[in-house]
Every structure is written in C-alpha cells, then in structure tokens.
C-alpha cells in the first residue's frame, strides 16, 4: 500500500453528470499530479498542482478542473461527463524540487460513465 | 508532440525465461526515462535513467538507456509468475515540472 490515498475506489456516473475525485498526498509531498488511464493505454497527464495553484496542464478540456488544499490534498472535478471519460484516474504526489523517481502513485479511482 | 512507444504490447513466457521489453521515445529536452510496474492499479517505480550506457540493476531486473538511439530496454531474468504485470515506460522533459509522458505499456504474462 502506498502513502497516497484516493477515494472513492470505484464510481459509476451517468453521462452529463459531474464527479469529484479525491487524493491525499504522501506525507511531506507538496505537489500533486493527476493522470487519466483508459483501458489498454498508458496514463495521460491531466494537470499538476503546487501550493494550491495549477502548475502545468496536459491536453484536457476545461471541464477537467482541480483544487489543492493547504494540507496538499487534492480534488479532480469533471463536469458534463462523457462516455470517453471512463478510465482509471491516478493521483501522484511528489516534491516539486524532487526527482521524478520521487513520484508516488495512488491506487486510483475507476470511473465508469454510462 | 512527445511520443513514447513500447514493444511488444504483450508477451507470454514460461517461468524461468528471460524477457526484454523495449521503449523508444521522441521528445524535446529529454530529462529522464522511468520504468514502472503496474499490477492492479498503482504503478510502482522500478528505475529512473538519465545517462546513456549505465545499467541499473535491482535483483533480476535491469535497465539501460541509449540517448543516441533514443531507446531503453528493461530485462527480466529467471521470470516468476509474480512478474506478471503491465510494464510502463515514461519520459520526463526539462522544464515540465515532472509531467511524465507514458507509453501504452507491455503486458507480461508469466505462466508456471
């Protein structure tokens, strides 16, 4: 079990609905990154948060948004869900000044949109 | 656009076999290449490579990077059923604050 906790583990939503996924960082980590992993694909970078501000964004539409809280935990919000949003959503915490080998992934939230 | 390609996409071997997984990349401002093992959900870190020609080893696993030919290999010797997993290759670039670009992964199945 990693030091990064994600909730919920599974979720089923209807097309058009909104969803919030949560991530608690590993102790001491100040940066959170979110990835989307569709079935049979590698994870794709959504965005990263550092000190409560977005610190980089991948090729995802604005209906994907996030928050980081003072305790470094984070939320990923997706509005107007589409069927293609069905995927495993992974959160990774790290130190901004640390190396990429310091990434710690959570176990993910499996989102199914029907 | 940064690109990472892994091959093969899937592989079935018997316990005791040796396997070689491949990862090629096309990125601007390369910083590092990482290998992860994904068994169920959370990818777990295996290696980070930044310099060409220096092999990294951990038990039966080893990896090496060729920055001239833009590829890396991950070797697993004396495979065990517990090695069955998806192996992911990812590349980090300078200035991206550790955004990683992943390949699709190689699904390794080790049969007893």
Would you give per-residue pLDDT tens digits along chain A (114 residues)? 458 999 999 999 999 999 999 999 888 888 899 999 999 999 999 999 988 899 889 999 999 999 999 988 999 999 999 999 999 999 998 876 656 667 889 999 999 999
Per-residue pLDDT at B36: 95
Q: What does the alpha-carbon distance between residue B6 and residue B21 come to, in Å, rounded to a whole number?
A: 8
What single-letter DSSP state applies at residue B5? Answer: E
Interface test with chain B among A7, A21, A35, A42, by most B beta carbons within 10 Å = A42
Q: Between chains, do A100 and B102 touch, taking CB under 8 Å as contact?
A: no
Q: What does the alpha-carbon distance between residue A5 and residue A12 come to, in Å, rounded to a whole number?
A: 19
Q: Is A67 on the interface with B (CB under 8 A)?
A: no
Per-residue pLDDT at A113: 98
- Look up tokens 């790290």; give the residue: A94
B92-111: average pLDDT: 88
Beta bridge partners of B12: B109
Contact criterion met (CB below 8 Å) for A92 and A35: yes
In this predicted structure, the answer to whether residue B12 has a pLDDT above a threshold of 90 is: yes
Point out the residue among B45, B92, B103 whose CB comes nearest to the CB of A42.
B103
In this predicted structure, the answer to whether residue B89 has a pLDDT above a threshold of 90 is: yes
Per-residue pLDDT at B35: 96
Q: Between chains, do B45 and A103 touch, taking CB under 8 Å as contact?
A: yes
Per-residue pLDDT at B20: 98
Q: Is A60 on the interface with B (CB under 8 A)?
A: no
């Amino acid at each position: 079990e990693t030091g990064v906790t994600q909730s919920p583990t599974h979720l089923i939503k209807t097309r058009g609905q909104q969803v919030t996924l949560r991530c608690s960082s590993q102790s001491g980590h100040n940066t959170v990154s979110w990835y989307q992993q569709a079935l049979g694909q590698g994870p794709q970078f959504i965005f990263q948060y550092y000190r409560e501000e977005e610190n980089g964004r991948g090729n995802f539409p604005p209906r994907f948004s996030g928050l980081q809280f003072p305790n470094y935990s984070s939320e990923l919000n997706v509005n107007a869900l589409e069927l293609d949003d069905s995927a495993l959503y992974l959160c990774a915490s790290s130190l901004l000044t640390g190396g990429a080998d310091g990434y710690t992934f959570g176990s993910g939230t499996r989102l199914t949109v029907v | 656009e940064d690109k990472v390609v892994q091959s093969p996409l899937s592989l079935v071997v018997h316990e005791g076999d040796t396997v070689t997984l491949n990862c090629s990349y096309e990125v601007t401002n390369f910083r590092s290449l990482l290998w992860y093992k994904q068994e169920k959900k959370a990818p777990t870190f295996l290696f980070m490579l930044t310099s060409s020609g220096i092999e990294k080893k951990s038990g039966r696993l080893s990896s090496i990077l060729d920055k001239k030919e833009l590829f890396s290999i991950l070797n697993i010797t004396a495979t065990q059923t517990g090695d069955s997993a998806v192996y992911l290759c990812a590349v980090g670039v300078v200035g991206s604050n550790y955004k990683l670009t992943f390949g699709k992964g190689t699904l390794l199945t080790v049969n007893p």
